[in-house]
Amino acid sequence: MVDDVWTVALTVGGYLLLMIWVGAAAARRSWTPEGFYLAGRALGPVVLTATLVATILGASSTLGMAGLGYSEGLTGAWWLLSGSLGLLVLSVFFAEKVRGAACYTLPELLGERYDPRVRSAASALVLVSWVGIIAAQIVAAGKLLGVLFGPWQEIFMVASAVVFVGYTALGGQRSIVKTDTVQILILLLGLLVVGWRALHLAGPEILAGQSFPTSDGRGGVDVAILVLLVGSTYIAGPDIYSRLFSAKDPKTARRSALAAALLLVPLAFIITGIGITARTLFPEIGPEEALPVLMAETLSPLAMGIAAAALLSALISSADTTLLTATSIFSLDLFRRARPESSDRTMMIVSRGGTVLIGAVALLSALRLPEIIATLLSAYTVFAGGLIVPLVAGFWREKLRLTSDGALAALIGGGGTALLFGAKMPLLGMAASAFILFFVSWLSPQSRRDIRG
């Protein structure tokens, strides 16, 4: 806990109030489903790039990456560099196709490529796993503020959740992209403040002896596995696709994905470098405590307030996008398909109510049922193992002679393989998904007509 707690508290409190104000102001134009979920499909390259980067820089890319730098050195940067490579592939090969599909959600895109069964299975899987990701961001926010202000993590978790659930329910995508634009500027400022101070104390020579691109702790095979596993989730991430669907045109989607990929490269080394310096200055702490302890022990109260707001912005900017992604799937892929006659007014009520409901479930999981979070997050492993191959291959479905039965079998078989064996063989799920997709598809008669919906 810091000495001048009031200066830090006022800075962080001011940041949270600013986010509420920015989000509420943007909500005035979100009165239709397209405005609520996709910001009217009008995002330009600067705003789209900013919100993509803000979405990506969550708990794993800040607290987790600094922890990797603390524990293994500069090769920890491969976590975010893998994402950068995935975004690069997305930009070159898929971004224009994704935006050109004019869908609202990733499961809807899968449904168009295959059939309603695949859409429903993908919807259920993403919805469950995304609740776990929201809960994980809430827990991370509580731990961060707990380091700074004392052992009231539950109160901090509730406060953080109320802020991002509130402005997301009010304005949807419009509120998120506006707050993300502010948050990424705060985040960059905070990382520069912490990075400069840490490097000043530890000395720039601390980075000179670091091994890269491989090290004793992470060899070439380990790097390749990380690039394939993490990078693939950036090629087919529901939260990233929600951004591309919001672009004003396909070229903007492609250019913004490319710009975000390039911006992640220096950020990967900055965040990892912060973790490396923390290990030199505080060798007795846990790896994921590197960023908050470095802030609490080395910065002035005002600088620490800025850094705390920056790190909190990273967590919140990922949580709000994940929340809206889950809400869109709940409302559009599940509710609207069950009630296709629903008016826009009804859909807006369901959307805002669904946002609050999903946010509350995630908060409850974070507060009282932490063991459930691990179970929910395991569904993300199933998502990666089961959905990525059918989704990517689906862009060339006719040429590859893929069927809906093959896609559904790949989702279930690849996801189940990832769930059972992913801890020891992280790529086995995707390999099984690919094999099942082509095997089942090519066994099906070519004359078979896929169900469309």
Structure confidence by residue, pLDDT tens digits, 180-223: 888 888 888 888 888 888 888 888 788 877 899 998 888 999 99
Q: Which of 115-129, 162-176, 304-318 has the lowest mean pLDDT?
A: 304-318
**Cα distance between residue 54 and residue 225, in whole Å:** 25
Of the residues 368, 387, 420, the one at which a domain ends: 368
Q: Residue-wise over 195-204: b if at least 16 C-beta within 10 A, else e?
A: bebbbeebee
Identify any residues that bridge with 388 across adjacent strands, giving them in sequence order.
none
Say yes or no: 359 and 404 in one domain: no
Say yes or no: 346 and 266 in one domain: yes
- Residue 87 pLDDT exceeds 90: yes
User: What pLDDT score does 450 carry?
Assistant: 45
Residue range 106-120: mean pLDDT, rounded: 92
Say yes or no: 300 and 204 in one domain: yes
Whole-Å CA distances, 300 to 194, 288, 312, 333: 11, 21, 18, 48
User: What pLDDT score does 81 carry?
Assistant: 96
Read off the pLDDT of residues 123-132 as tens digits, 9 standing for 90 and up.
988 888 888 8
Residue 417 contacts by C-beta under 8 Å, 6 or more apart in sequence?
385, 428, 429, 432, 433
Q: Which domain holds residue 417?
A: 374-453
- Residue 48 pLDDT exceeds 90: yes
pTM of the entire structure? 0.86
Residue range 45-74: mean pLDDT, rounded: 89
- Residue 373 pLDDT exceeds 60: no
What backbone phi and psi angles, to 5 degrees, belong to 151?
Answer: -80, 55
Say yes or no: 389 and 258 in one domain: no
CATH value at residue 264: 1.20.1730.10
Read off the pLDDT of residues 430-453 as tens digits, 9 standing for 90 and up.
999 999 999 999 887 643 444 444
Tokens 């509710």, residue located = 335
Q: Using 50, 70 and 90 to split pLDDT, how confident is the model at 376? A: low
Percent of the chain clearing pLDDT 90 (strictly above): 42
Q: Count the Cβ atoms, other than its own, within 10 Å of residue 8.
A: 28
Q: What is the CA radius of gyration of the chain?
A: 21
Nearest CA-CA partner of 48 in 212, 139, 172, 181: 181
**Cα distance between residue 348 and residue 341, in whole Å:** 14
Higher pLDDT, 357 or 128: 357
Of the residues 334, 368, 402, the one at which a domain ends: 368
**Cα distance between residue 290 and residue 296, in whole Å:** 10
Domain tally, the chain = 2
Query: What's the maximum distance between 2 C-alpha atoms anywhere in the chain?
Result: 73
- Residue 392 pLDDT exceeds 60: yes
Q: Which of 55-64, 158-167, 412-421, 431-440 has the lowest mean pLDDT?
A: 55-64
Say yes or no: 11 and 42 in one domain: yes
Say yes or no: 415 and 340 in one domain: no
Higher pLDDT, 177 or 444: 177
Of the residues 315, 338, 368, the one at which a domain ends: 368
Say yes or no: 335 and 453 in one domain: no
Mean pLDDT rounded to a whole number for the chain: 86
- Residue 82 pLDDT exceeds 90: yes
Higher pLDDT, 50 or 302: 50
Residue range 291-304: mean pLDDT, rounded: 82
Say yes or no: 157 and 13 in one domain: yes
Q: Using 50, 70 and 90 to split pLDDT, how confident is the model at 359? A: very high
Say yes or no: 340 and 380 in one domain: no
- Residue 345 pLDDT exceeds 50: yes
Read off the pLDDT of residues 242-276 as tens digits, 9 standing for 90 and up.
999 999 999 999 999 999 999 999 999 999 999 99
Say yes or no: 290 and 391 in one domain: no
Say yes or no: 217 and 106 in one domain: yes
Say yes or no: 438 and 355 in one domain: no
Read off the pLDDT of residues 54-67 as tens digits, 9 standing for 90 and up.
888 887 788 888 98
User: What pLDDT score does 375 carry?
Assistant: 57
User: What pLDDT score does 377 carry?
Assistant: 60
User: What pLDDT score does 446 carry?
Assistant: 47
